[in-house]
Structures are given as structure tokens and as C-alpha cells.
Amino acid sequence: MTATTGTGAAGTGAAGTGAAGTGAAGSIPAQPRPGGGAVETIGELPWEDVLAQARALETRGGAPVPPGASRLTDLPVTGPDEILSVTKTAAAGPGAVLMSSGGTTGRPKLTYVPYHQAVDRLLEQWRPLSPDSVMLNLFNPGRMWASHYYMQTFAERCRCTVIPSGPFAPDDVANWVPMLKEVGVDTLCGTPTALADFAEGLLAAGETLPVTTVIWMAEPWTEAKHRVVAKALPEAGFWANYGSVETYIIGTNTPACDLQTVHLMPDQVLELEEKGALLTRRGTGWTMPAVRYRLGDRLARAECRCGRPDALRVVGRADDSVSLRSALFSVGDVMRHARTFPGVEEAQLVLTRSTDDLKAATALTLEYTGDADPEAVRAHLTAEFYHLAAVHHRFPGAITARRVGRLSRVERTNKVPPAVWRD
């Protein structure tokens, strides 16, 4: 879940092609933006259904509904506290799986996820597995991260065979290939990082598997990772979905789609805001209900080669601004620029934390894999961002680049974060 940030996938259609309220009679009225204009939205819902959902959630620990609310923006924005309260109340009878997001650098955000994990909702839109599939599950198990268990439940519902292995180091893959061939593995699921590790192991061993389906989520593809997986598994179609531990699946992607685009599932509306998109849902069968729940990602409308409607892409994290010697910059913007330099395959910012401010850095090092010259990479960065150039001029050595053999990963999820902090 969460392709992505930077996750992946595409189309245009009548639904969700403008501001809220451009569709059927009785749908959500146009949402005013502070200062004028309308908030851009994707998807469409009847206002009466949204209001009923908000009032129902209020009785279960959700946010109060203001008297006289007549449009979506009249309702309060919600966050992790409301999700924890509402999902805990819902789990009191049937039980749930307690999952968390975050926790690497801050306090984990907890969600009580129902055992069904919204699989029936998902299968109405997205079917990468059949009863004949044999899937190798490369997602990390344990530590309350949801993806491994979500794919186990999804496989069970699809009545296929699943191998709950977790990720492999590249040099360990060759030892497992004979067994994987014997049982007929034809599907892999994992983060792009785990899938690329597995593919590197296959290529190094001179081996292959008859894989026709690759399911990915939780982080975006880089060109280098996608290239190695496509080389090792040339017959594979790529399937993805986008969501979070709190929301589970919001949108889906198939092999017919552009890689980094997803399509919003029905019965949902997204308000596209710089502070993070807001999700609203109606109906049953979801892992959690939502009225204006603040996601951690900035999303944008997209078009897709498949032609399906309600397409979107993940622009980046909404909270990725960092101060370097008083110069404010976006981690996502710097990373996108760094990856355009010839000879840079994968990249990551290493930030030295200020003792005075947890969101401020005193030094920045771009660590990368590839054969590019470090000083040339550093010059490429500072030439593009004038405020970083000013920092480099005033504080020589505050901005550097370093070639490495492997980037840092989050142990809990096996993902490569765009930035890591060091004291």
C-alpha cells in the first residue's frame, strides 16, 4: 500500500474530470477554496450519503458534524486520532488486526483493521490472482506492518497458493530457485526494493522463473529497479495499488496502465490539497470509513494509456520540507532532480540533524549508486536550486555527494526512504 510514494498508474472520463459538483444531480456541491475558486477533486459522491456517513461516524468517536453543514468543506478534516477511535469501536465485537504506520522516527499511528481487509471491495476492481496462481510473498512480516498480511489474506480469498517468505538478499536467491521452480511460482509480490533484490539474485545466478505477475506497492519504482526486474522477469505484467495502513486500498493499477498512475476505486472522493489529499468514502466493506481523512501524500490528476477514469499520481509527501542552514527545500524536488543526472541510478539524502530543531539540518549529503562523479553530482544539485547554491557558497562542505554501494533502508519495511536523518 502506498505505491506509493511515488507509487504508481491512468485515464480520463466523465466522473472526476473537474471540481466537485460537476456530475450528477445531488452530488457534492463545488467546494470553495480559501481566497476564491474551487478545490479540485477526483471522484464523485452524493452529498446526502457523505452527510449520513459523517453523522454515523460522530456517534462512534469521529469528528462532530457542524450544524447546518451543506457541503463537504463544511465538515472538519480528520486524522489518526479519529481513525483510531472509530476503528477501535468497530473492532469491539468482531475483532481486528492491530496495524501501525510510521514508528520509524515518531510515534506509530494505530489502526484496528477488520479481518476481511476489504478484499471483496478490491476484487470488484482488481484481479491479478487466480486459483491456479502460486505467489511468493516478499513483503516483510512482523512489527505491525500491514502489507505482508494483506497479501496473505488476498491470496486466501483468491484461493491460490501463497509462500509467506519475506524478502531475500540477492546472494540467497539461488539456493531457493530449485524449490520455487518445483512448486510452480508464477507470481511475486513485494516492494520495488525487495523485487529488485530478488531479480538481481536471479540474474547473478543465471536463473529465471516463469513469473507472469508482479504485484508491487508501498514505494515508487526507480528506473534502475524497474529495469532489473523487467530484465529478470521479461514475461511479467505489473499490478499495483495505492493506499495506506489506515485506509487500505484507495486506487488500483493493472498492466494496461502507466506504471506510476492509479485509478480511484468507486464510492470515494479525493480533495487535492498541498497539505495532503483528503479522502471521503461511503458504503460498507472498507477497512475503515472516512470523511475528509488527511492522507500524507500530495496527489494530482493524471491521464492513463488504459483510458479508465479517475486517474491520479502521487506527487510526493506533503510534509517533506526541510530547512538546511535556514534554506527551505523539498526532499522530493531535490531527489527528482538528482535522479536525472547521468550515472546516478538510485539516490538518497542523508541529513545531519541540528541540535536546535528536529526538522532542520546543518549538512546534506546526496548518497547514490552508479558511476557518476561525486563533485559533478553536487554541482548539478546546487546549480538547479539557487537557495542550496547560496548555502554551499556560505558554508563550504555543507552540501556534498557520495557514491555508495547500497542505500540505507527502513528495517521494518525494507523500503529505501528518500531521506534519512543522522545526529
Render pLDDT for 107-151 as a digit per residue (tens, 0 to 9): 789 999 999 999 999 999 999 999 999 999 999 999 999 999 999
Q: Given a cut of 70, is residue 5 above it in pLDDT?
A: no
Could you tell me if 146 and 154 are in contact, meaning their C-beta atoms sit under 8 angstroms apart? no
Identity of the amino acid at 347: A
> What would the mean pLDDT of 376-397 be, rounded to a whole number?
94
Q: How far is CA 22 from the centre of its chain?
A: 28
Q: Given a cut of 70, is residue 26 above it in pLDDT?
A: no
Q: Given a cut of 50, is residue 78 above it in pLDDT?
A: yes
Catalogue the long-range contacts made by 384-391 (C-beta closer than 8 Å, 24 or more residues apart).
384/337, 385/329, 385/333, 385/334, 385/337, 387/327, 387/328, 387/329, 388/324, 388/327, 388/329, 388/334, 388/364, 390/327, 391/324, 391/325, 391/327
Q: Given a cut of 70, is residue 240 above it in pLDDT?
A: yes
Report residue 28's pLDDT band, with 50, 70 and 90 as the boundaries. low
- For all residues of the chain together, what is the average pLDDT? 90
Q: Is the pTM of this model over 0.85?
A: yes
Q: What is the CATH number of domain 80-317?
A: 3.40.50.12780
Parse the chain into domains and list their residue ranges. 80-317, 321-422
Digit-coded pLDDT (tens) for 255-280: 999 999 999 999 999 999 999 999 99
Phi/psi-derived region of residue 84, left when phi > 0, alpha when psi is between -120 and 50, beta in every other case: alpha
Helix (H, G, I), strand (E, B) or coil at 141: coil
Task: Cell numbers for 321, please give them.
Answer: 520540507
Q: Given a cut of 80, is residue 285 above it in pLDDT?
A: yes
Q: Given a cut of 90, is residue 414 above it in pLDDT?
A: yes
Report residue 347's pLDDT band, with 50, 70 and 90 as the boundaries. very high
Q: Given a cut of 60, is residue 13 above it in pLDDT?
A: no
Q: Which residue, chain included where needed, has cell 546546487?
A: 382
Q: Given a cut of 90, is residue 356 above it in pLDDT?
A: no
Identity of the amino acid at 178: P
Q: Look at residue 23 in the predicted model and tell me its pLDDT.
A: 35
Q: Look at residue 1 in the predicted model and tell me its pLDDT.
A: 57
Helix (H, G, I), strand (E, B) or coil at 343: coil
Q: Given a cut of 90, is residue 4 above it in pLDDT?
A: no
Q: Look at residue 38 in the predicted model and tell me its pLDDT.
A: 72
Task: Cell numbers for 19, please give them.
Answer: 471540481
Could you tell me if 177 and 206 are in contact, meaning their C-beta atoms sit under 8 angstroms apart? no
Report residue 390's pLDDT band, with 50, 70 and 90 as the boundaries. very high
- Rounded Cα gap, residues 219 and 51, in angstroms: 33
Q: Given a cut of 90, is residue 29 above it in pLDDT?
A: no
Q: Which CATH number fits domain 321-422: 3.40.1360.10, 3.30.300.30, 3.40.50.1100, 3.40.50.2000?
A: 3.30.300.30
**CA 286 vs CA 79, 114, 151, 172, 414: distances in Å:** 17, 9, 16, 38, 27
Q: Look at residue 105 in the predicted model and tell me its pLDDT.
A: 54
Q: Look at residue 131 in the predicted model and tell me its pLDDT.
A: 98
- Cα dihedral 362/368/371/375 (nearest 10): -10
Residue 228: enclosing H or E segment and its boundaries? helix 223-232
